[in-house]
C-alpha cells in the first residue's frame, strides 16, 4: 500500500510539474524577441503611429519569469525593426516603461527575452482564444481519471480500513 501511495504522489508531482511548464508557454503564434525599458509612460512599438489612438493591444510575456502583462502601446518606437541601429542596437519587439517591467517581475532597465502576441480589443482575450478547439481531448480525460483514482487510492479513500 505504501508503494502505491508513493506512486500516486510521484504521478501527481509529474503532472503538476508538466502543468507548470505548460502554463508558462506563450500563446500559439507568439513572436519571440527582445523587449527593452524606456522612461515611458506606457509601451512603445514600431507599428504604433500618430496619433497613437489605434495601436493594437498585445500580451507581453517575460520568458525569464513567465509573467504576462497586457499593454496597448501609446507611443511609436523605432525599435530598429529589420536593421541594426547606429550604435549596434538590435531589433526590439516593444519598449516598456518601468512599471510594466516591474509587473513582469524583471529587475529594472535592460533588455529581456519576451514573447508577444495580439489580443482582441473588445474582449482582451488572445486572438486565438475564440478559435475552435480540436475535440481530441480524450488523452487529457483519461489522464485526469487516472490521476483521480491514484490520488484516491493513495489517500486511502477507497480503503476498507477507514470504514
Nearest to 103 by CA among 49, 133, 136, 65: 65
Please give the pLDDT value at position 27: 77
> What's the CA gap between 132 and 73, in Å, rounded?
29
Query: In the chain, where are the structural domains located?
Result: 1-25+136-156, 28-125
> What's the CA gap between 99 and 43, in Å, rounded?
10
User: What are the helix (H) ranges across 25-124?
Assistant: 98-103
Per-residue pLDDT of the chain (163 residues; tens, 9 = 90+): 555 454 444 444 344 333 333 445 667 779 999 999 999 999 999 988 888 888 999 999 999 999 999 999 999 988 888 888 888 888 999 999 999 999 999 998 999 999 999 987 555 555 554 443 444 444 554 566 565 666 666 666 555 555 4
Task: Read off the pTM.
Answer: 0.60
**C-alpha cell recorded at residue 15:** 503532472
Please give the pLDDT value at position 86: 85
Cβ within 8 Å of residue 35, ≥6 positions away: 60, 62, 92, 93, 94, 95, 96, 111, 112, 113, 114, 116
The domain made up of 28-125 has a fold known as Barwin-like endoglucanases (2.40.40)
Name the CA dihedral angle for 24, 30, 36, 42, rounded to a multiple of 10 degrees.
-100
> What's the CA gap between 70 and 132, in Å, rounded?
23
Amino acid at each position: 500500500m505504501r508503494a502505491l501511495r508513493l506512486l500516486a504522489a510521484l504521478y501527481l508531482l509529474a503532472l503538476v510539474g508538466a502543468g507548470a511548464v505548460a502554463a508558462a508557454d506563450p500563446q500559439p503564434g507568439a513572436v519571440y524577441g527582445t523587449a527593452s525599458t524606456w522612461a515611458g509612460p506606457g509601451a512603445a512599438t514600431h507599428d504604433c503611429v500618430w496619433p497613437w489612438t489605434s495601436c493594437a493591444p498585445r500580451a507581453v510575456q517575460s520568458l525569464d519569469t513567465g509573467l504576462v502583462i497586457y499593454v496597448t502601446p501609446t507611443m511609436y518606437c523605432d525599435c530598429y525593426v529589420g536593421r541594426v541601429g547606429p550604435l549596434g542596437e538590435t531589433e526590439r519587439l516593444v519598449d516598456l516603461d518601468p512599471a510594466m517591467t516591474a509587473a513582469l517581475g524583471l529587475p529594472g532597465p535592460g533588455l529581456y527575452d519576451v514573447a508577444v502576441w495580439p489580443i482582441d480589443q473588445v474582449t482582451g482575450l488572445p486572438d486565438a482564444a475564440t478559435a475552435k478547439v480540436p475535440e481530441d481531448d480524450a488523452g487529457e480525460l483519461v489522464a485526469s481519471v487516472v490521476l483521480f483514482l491514484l490520488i484516491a487510492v493513495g489517500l486511502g479513500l477507497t480503503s476498507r480500513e477507514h470504514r
